[in-house]
Structure formats: C-alpha cells, structure tokens
Structure 1
Amino acid sequence: MSPTRTAVICALFVAIGPMSLALYTPALPALVPVFGTTASVMKLTVTIYFLGFAVALLVAGPFSDAFGRRPVLLVFFTVYLAGSLVAALSPSVEWLLLGRVLQGIGAAAGVTAARALVRDLYTGEEAARIMNLVGLMVGIAPAASPTLGGILLHFGWHAIFGAMVAYGLMVVVLAYFMPETHTHPDRTHVLPRNMVAHYLALISDRGFLHSGLLTSMIQGGLYTMPALMPFALIERVGLTPLQYGFAMAGGAGCFMLGAFITGRLLRRFDALKLIHVGVVLVFIAGLAFAIGLRLGPPTFWTVWAPSALWTFGLTFVMPGSTMRALSGFPGIAGSASALLGFLQFGGGLLASAIAALVIGDAMTGLMTLLPIMALLAAIIHWALNPPPVDPRIPQNRIDDIKSRI
C-alpha cells in the first residue's frame, strides 16, 4: 500500500480508541444523576475502559503476529461493536461498566495492528513520517469528538453510544476489505513460552524501555486528562458540556498543529532529536499545572492552556519514540506494538485510577498528578540515555531467553 493509503487506514483504526474516550467525556457529569451514582464511579467508567484496553493489547499483539493483522482486527472490532451496544442500552451503571470494558478490549487492536501494519511495510524515517501523518489525522478524533459529544448529549446520552455503534460498524467493514500486510504469520507466537520470551526480550532492550516508559508518562498523562478535565471545566469553571466540547476541540487543534510542524521538521531533523523538544514542552506544561492552579481560583486558561501545551509537546515525542521502539523487532512487530501501547495506556490507567480512587477531587489531580508525570518523563528521558537505534533483529536475545524458560 502507498504511504498515504497506509496512513489513512491506520488513522481510522487508531482513532477508535481516542474517539471512544473523548466522545463520552462531556456526558460524565450529566450521567451521575442519571444512574444515581457518584462522580468517582463515573470516573471509573474511564478507568475500566483503560483496563480492558491495556490488558487486551498484550493479547492482540501476539495474535496479530501469529494469525495476521486482518483477522485479529475483525474479531476485536466485533467485540467493540458489542460493547457499544451494551453501553447504549445500559439500564444501570453496572451494565455501563461492562460495555465500557468491552469497548476497551475491542479498541485495543486498532492501535496494535495499525503500528504493526506500518512496520510491515516501512522502516526508519519513512515509518516515522507515516506515524506522524497518522497522528495528524488521528488528531481529528479528539478535536471533533468532545464537540460532537456535547451536541449529541442534547438528544440523550444514548445518542453518544449510538455514534460509537456506527463507527464500530465502519471499522469492521474496513477491516474485512483491507489487504493482509503480515505475509509470514507464525502461530508459535501465541505459545505462552514464546509470548513471555518476546516480552522479556523487549523490556530488556534499553531503547524499547526508554520509549515505553517515556510515553507511559507523556501519553498516559494525556489519557488521564479526560477523567479530570470535564469535572474541572464544567463543575469548577462553569462551562456547559457544549462549551467543554469546543474547548477540547481547541486542545486537539494544538495536537494537529504540533503534528503538522513535526512533519515539516522530520524532513530536516532526525526524529529522535525532536523527542528532546517534546519532553521540555511537557515539563513546562506540568509546571503550569502545578503553579498556575495554586495561584488563585481556577479559570479556563489556567486549566486549559497547560493541557493544550502538553498535547502540543506530545506530537514531538511520538514519531521518534514509536520508531525507536519498533525498529529492532520486525519479526514480533505486533508484540512490540502491543507492549508499547500497554505501557502508554497502563500509565493512563494507573493515573486515572489514582485520580478516581485516591485523590477524588479533579482540580487536585490536575495540580499534583500531572506535574509528577511530567517530572518522571524528564527523568526517564535523560537518565536512561538509550543507545542509537539498531536495525538488526535481536534474535539472539530472544533465543537466549527461550532457552532459559
């Protein structure tokens, strides 16, 4: 497939994850009285989505290496479609939680298979440019979804999940007609011994570990914001759900602007060098959360501006870190993509769980949790000091681990 066609297909697959998260967030405060529950329980509907997503990633990756990208996408997207129907018809918050976890499980294949699909066809700087183009197009999902969610909320919360059902049908059809890009599937990849060996080989690689831990803090922070921002901007600042949607669209616009600038810079600079810029920007955003929200009552700008800067900085980090994580593992690209996604969403899962179960107050979460994640990202980036990317397959390391299991 051409780079453009690859990017478009991958963007539609990847977007199912952020779309299912962002479309739903304007309804979070409104659903508290609907289901007769608390804000903490509604935040758990975000956390459990992350849980299903993160755990399913570890399964979807090896299965895509074993059976191909297309069949795995079909199965997982069907699960997503079922979860969307359950959520749309939920009579209680328990059913809503079940629907959300099924959505998370089903959406996991989108991220895993899309990254592996790019690795099947392209390597090096070309792969980094395609992933940046994917990021630019995926930015449309969080840009439009909160606004669309705020509009759909006027027709009832069921309409939001009805939109997810429609998207689920679309990606199932797209996966059915897409060509298979993994030409040498190996069913031994799903043997427990091999799965363990592959994941141990990945986490023992310093370049992969650097990318995984760094993005678990930076992208994990971005995934934590939907559990905090609606309560901060709607309940504390006083925005309406529709105004919140437009605010989040502005933040996603910063993502798209950053992806556009990054794409231009990738023509002149190494993708790995741009990671430094992104880490600095995210660290500044963390400082803004920590300091700005303590200077006085929260305002739109003290809440929104740091989140927009964080989102902008992320775009400088992702192409290089993704390329570094997958470059040395073409034979297990699905597993590498899965573990990378697990670490990213695992960061969001852990942080959103702490926000919901330990901190409770959304504003406190923004001014403490996110600055800590920004600081940890900076420490990880400069302390690990990963070696140059090695394009060779680290098969000896995998074989050595298998011999010791």
Structure 2
Amino acid sequence: MQDKIAITDGIWPNVDHLLAPEVVAQLAAQAAEADREGRMSETGLALLREHKWPGLAVPTKFGGLGANLLECCAVQRKLGGADPGLSIACTMHLGSVGVWNEHYVKQPDMTWVFMEAVAKRSLIVASAVAEPSLGGSVNRSTLRARRVEGGWEVTGRKGPLSFAASADLITLQFQSEPDGETPSKVLVALVPRSLPGISSERSWNTMGMRGSGSDTLVLEHCMIPDPMVVFQGEPGAAADGDLVAGIVWFCLVITSSYLGLAETALGVTRETLGRSRIAHLDAARAELPSFQAIVGQHAAALLTLESACAGLARAMDAKQDPQGLLAAALGLKQHAIRVVPEALGAFAEACGGIAYARSSTLERLWRDAQAIRFHPPTPVPVAQYLGRRALGMAAALDLDEAAPGLRERGGA
C-alpha cells in the first residue's frame, strides 16, 4: 500500500522531510543485489548516514531529526518497502536510540551524550540481545561475564546481530556468573565496536532478509569497564520501565517495517494483476471480482495492523505508561506474524506462477516476510504471556513451563 493508495491516507504522517523520496528510491534500487549477495547494502547504509537517519529519534536540541515514535514508524514503513533487509537492521538501531530518548524524558541524565554522539556523527548502534538458546526471551543471556577489577570480562558469541560488522556502538546484553553471595544479573553495556576483544564473523546465510547483515559478534576476553554498564536487573524480570518501553518501541517499529514490505508487495501485485490476462475471459485478473476479493480480504487485515500500529505509536507519543501498552504492542506484533506472511502468500498466488520466479520481486518479498516469525520476543513466550494476562494470572515475558518463578512472585 504505497503512499499514493487512498486506503492508507490519514493513517500515517507525511515524513518526506525525514527521509526524502529520492533517497527511498536509491535504497530500493540496491535491495535486489543485497539479496542476491546475501550482504547488507553498503551503499544504502552510506546513504542513511549521509542523510542523518541515525539521529532520527534524537531530539533536535541534541542534533537529531527530532522524530517522535509515530514518525519513526512511518519512516520505517518507507525503509521496509524499499530494502527490507536494511530496514530490519535499522529497527535494531531505533530500538536502542528510541529508549534512550524515552529514558531521558523521564530521568534527565548523561543519556543525552549518547544521543548527541549518534546524531552529530551519524553513528550506527547495534542491539546485541537476541540469542538462539533463549526461547525468544529478551531479558536473559547465555553470554556470561566474569567480574574483574574495574569491570567485566566477557568471552562468547552473540548472534544473529544486525550491523555486527558495521556498527559504531553496540548495546550488549550479557549475564553475570552467580557466586555464593550474589545472584546472577542481566547487564546491558553500551560499548564501542572498536573495543579490544570484539570482532565479527560472517555467518548470515538465510532464505530471506539476506541484506540485514545479521552476522555473529565474537567477544574474546573483552574487558567492559564499569562506566559502560548502563543497566543491571534480574534475569527473566520485565518490570523495568526502560525494558518495557524498549519492547513497545521494538514491536511498533518492526511491525512498521513489515507493513512497508507488504505495501511494496501490494504495489507489485496491483501491477501484475493489471497486465496479466485470463485468455478465455478476455479480462485482466485485476478486473475480475474473484481476484479483487482476494486482494481486498488481505488489504483489510493489513489496514487493521496499520491503524493499530499508528494508534499505539500515538499513545506512546502522548506519554501513556508503556507498561499499560505492553500487552497491546505484543498483541500487535503477534497479529502481524500471521497477517503479513499470509498476505504475501495470497498476493503471490493471485499473480500466478510468474510470482514464483527468482526474478520476481514478489518472490523476494515473500521470502523476506517469513522472517517476521523469528524476532524476539517470539510467538511462544508472547502467547504464554498474553494468555496468562488474559486469565488474570502472573505473567512474564520468559518461557517458564513449570511456572515456579511466577508462583513465587504471585499477583498479575
């Protein structure tokens, strides 16, 4: 559903001043090559740096573009429609920078230094949270740290990590080893990518989102000084305000990226159905009610997502409590996991075998759309959390099949 399509008018603000149409067109021109090569478009990333995109969510007083969450989501839709892989990587950057802004509004502190550096120097922030052995949890880590004088020594791997090779800063989540007196803690540090002991390993070779640069971060006896640690918390807990705000931000910007992908897919579908004719009916597929109904059914589902995503972003911008919006944001992401791939599949099926060709834009977008299932918090812990909340039970965004921790905490 491109901007020129009337059914989306009024849902999203015009953000051409934040990401110009000509820049979007240049990004789109690089996407197919990035997919073929399985690498992030360096040209695309350079364009974003040149046009100050890294400072999108940074207030203007700190040198940024001053976009609110609604505008950030609208920009992500444009990116997702142009280069889905690059867009997904950019979502991880926004997830960090957006939370810094949310934190600073509530608690003015030195966070402004990070934001100013990102905006004025067009720095890219990678978010090293995801791990394959956490069951989709976002508040634990298998990356262990050993306490040393003045900081933490970390050895291990983090992946998949978008911007692993090209980030300037890394929001690194790890977990301390427990000792006899102190329990294990989840720690988050903001570290420069150039810190000794940090390297990357090219490992990203997937069906879709091949241009996201989601390789593996390698840490070998990496010393993280105490001043770089910006958060400490209990593993599995989800009550921290910054963590909750971060999850809400992520759910909205990631959904926006996939809505942009769907927008482009619908544009390709419209063009294909308009020129693909059914010979014995002497009509284009787009002229036939059966094909119109297929597209309309999935357009309706996508419009529901568009409206809900924009509405939640407006609620966050109105400074509603993120804790009160958490379930809705998770529900939105959960809904998108079903709606977007189904829409892409239906569009491709309506277009016929031509959509299955490797040369087809729809084929590439269909592959990219499948990745929506794998962004943490993933469907299983989210469904468990929402189910427990709906039943009035204690809930945390953490797989807990026997629920001993939930029983201990009690309450809803």
Short-chain TM bin = 0.3 to 0.5
Determine which structure has more spread, i.e. the larger CA radius of gyration: 2
Return the structure number with greater helix share. Answer: 1
- Which structure's relative contact order is higher, taking Cα pairs within 8 Å and 6+ residues apart? 1
Return the structure number with greater strand share. Answer: 2
